[in-house]
């Protein structure tokens, strides 16, 4: 079962968390939930489930660490774990959305080029859609393949393209598809300019991601450096520096770094062609 659906179920049935969950969700989080789950899940319910899980982790972490470190250190670390779990879960969903968005934007200019080329060659929108559906354009080809059955049942290709464009998270592809539809209907759209702009948008996206990666690297490095120091100081204060359990710190450090890496650095390297 998808853990996001489980979180939504927990948050929906839990009383008193709606106000808190409303404060921690962002527009980007709402957009990610609406796109990934096609409005079948409520963003507030998901964030409510996240709040419950974070609260449970806070209580459990504080209780366990209070056996080894002083209560203040245990309390601070409990809050840290709760906040980080909340951030990792919610940012993980946004990262999934951003990863798909980047994949779509990367292939958008080539999809538009193929649509225009096949249409100008054959004069058939159906054949243009069919050609793209057989391509290797991640996510987009799959959605175009789903149009084939409605097309065979009599749906107009222009309407299917319009519906797909409206529900499209990529502004680049949405703008291009609307220009393509306008070109079909009136031949007044400058498709070449739209396709060139789509190529330029990849470069703009790359520059934006580079800035984001730099800021995230600062967070990543800071947490990996300072959190182990806080734990070691807490153990030293309690006189547990010789405790064999301290050997578990490298394991914790490795696991924590993997969680941070997967949440702070989503799979957007595809933009670079990797």
Give me the pLDDT at residue 1, please. Answer: 47
Query: Measured between alpha carbons, how far is 246 from 56 in angstroms, rounded to an integer?
Result: 24
C-alpha dihedral, 13 to 16 to 19 to 25, nearest 10°: -40
| pLDDT tens digits, 93-139 | 888 888 788 888 888 888 888 888 888 888 888 888 888 888 888 78
Query: Measured between alpha carbons, how far is 240 from 228 in angstroms, rounded to an integer?
Result: 15
pLDDT band at 268 (very low <50, low <70, confident <90, very high): very low
Higher pLDDT, 73 or 18: 73
Closest CA to 196 of 110, 102, 103: 110
Query: Measured between alpha carbons, how far is 259 from 256 in angstroms, rounded to an integer?
Result: 5
Query: Measured between alpha carbons, how far is 76 from 86 in angstroms, rounded to an integer?
Result: 15
Cα separations in angstroms, 105 against 31, 126, 162, 207, 221? 16, 23, 18, 14, 30
Give me the pLDDT at residue 36, please. Answer: 86
Give me the pLDDT at residue 205, please. Answer: 67
Count of other CB atoms within 10 angstroms of residue 34 = 17
> Is the predicted pLDDT of residue 13 greater than 50, yes or no?
yes
8: tokens are: 């939504």
| pLDDT tens digits, 142-193 | 888 989 888 888 888 888 888 888 888 888 888 888 888 887 776 655 666 6
Give me the pLDDT at residue 95, please. Answer: 80
Cα separations in angstroms, 52 against 32, 45, 79? 21, 11, 13
Give me the pLDDT at residue 241, please. Answer: 62
Domain range list for the chain? 103-199
| pLDDT tens digits, 179-233 | 888 877 766 556 666 667 666 666 666 666 666 666 767 776 777 777 777 777 7
Least confident of 17-31, 168-182, 251-265: 251-265
Give me the pLDDT at residue 272, please. Answer: 47
187: tokens are: 């031949």
Query: Measured between alpha carbons, how far is 165 from 33 in angstroms, rounded to an integer?
Result: 18
Query: Measured between alpha carbons, how far is 46 from 27 in angstroms, rounded to an integer?
Result: 14
Query: Measured between alpha carbons, how far is 162 from 178 in angstroms, rounded to an integer?
Result: 7
Is the separation of the CB atoms in 8 and 39 below 8 Å? no
User: In degrees rounded to 5, what are phi and psi of residue 71?
Assistant: -55, -35
Higher pLDDT, 52 or 219: 52
The structure tokens 């080539």 sit at: 110
- What DSSP line would sit under 230-241, residue for residue? HHHHHHHHTT-T
pLDDT band at 265 (very low <50, low <70, confident <90, very high): low
Give me the pLDDT at residue 32, please. Answer: 87
Read off the pLDDT of each residue in 30-39 and give the average, rounded to a whole number: 84
Is the separation of the CB atoms in 130 and 115 below 8 Å? no
Query: Measured between alpha carbons, how far is 10 from 46 in angstroms, rounded to an integer?
Result: 8
Give me the pLDDT at residue 264, please. Answer: 59
Q: What is the pTM of this model?
A: 0.67
Residues ≥6 apart with Cβ < 8 Å to 245: 68
Give me the pLDDT at residue 191, please. Answer: 62
Is the separation of the CB atoms in 138 and 4 below 8 Å? no
Cα separations in angstroms, 86 against 39, 46, 121, 235? 22, 11, 52, 26
Query: Measured between alpha carbons, how far is 219 from 227 in angstroms, rounded to an integer?
Result: 12
């Amino acid at each position: 079962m998808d853990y996001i659906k489980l979180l939504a179920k927990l948050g929906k049935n839990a009383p008193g968390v709606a106000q808190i969950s409303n404060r921690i969700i962002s527009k980007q989080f709402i957009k990610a939930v609406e796109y990934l789950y096609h409005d079948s899940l409520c963003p507030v319910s998901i964030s409510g489930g996240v709040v419950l899980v974070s609260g449970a982790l806070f209580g459990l972490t504080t209780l366990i660490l209070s056996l080894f470190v002083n209560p203040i250190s245990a309390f601070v670390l409990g809050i840290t774990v709760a906040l980080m779990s909340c951030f990792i879960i919610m940012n993980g969903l946004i990262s999934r959305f951003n990863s798909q968005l980047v994949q779509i934007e990367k292939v958008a200019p080539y999809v538009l080029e193929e649509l225009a080329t096949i249409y100008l060659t054959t004069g058939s929108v159906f054949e243009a859609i069919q050609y793209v559906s057989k391509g290797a354009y991640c996510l987009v080809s799959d959605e175009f393949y789903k149009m084939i059955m409605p097309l065979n049942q009599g749906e107009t290709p222009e309407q299917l393209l319009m519906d797909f464009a409206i529900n499209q998270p990529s502004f680049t592809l949405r703008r291009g598809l609307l220009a393509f539809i306008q070109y079909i209907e009136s031949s007044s759209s400058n498709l070449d300019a739209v396709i060139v702009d789509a190529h330029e948008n990849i470069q703009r996206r790359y520059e934006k991601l580079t800035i984001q990666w730099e800021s995230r690297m600062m967070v990543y490095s800071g947490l990996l450096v300072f959190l182990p120091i806080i734990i070691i100081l807490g153990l030293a204060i309690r006189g547990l520096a010789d405790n064999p359990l301290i050997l578990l710190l490298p394991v914790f450090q490795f696991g924590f770094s993997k969680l941070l890496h997967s949440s702070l650095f989503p799979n957007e390297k595809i933009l670079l062609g990797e």
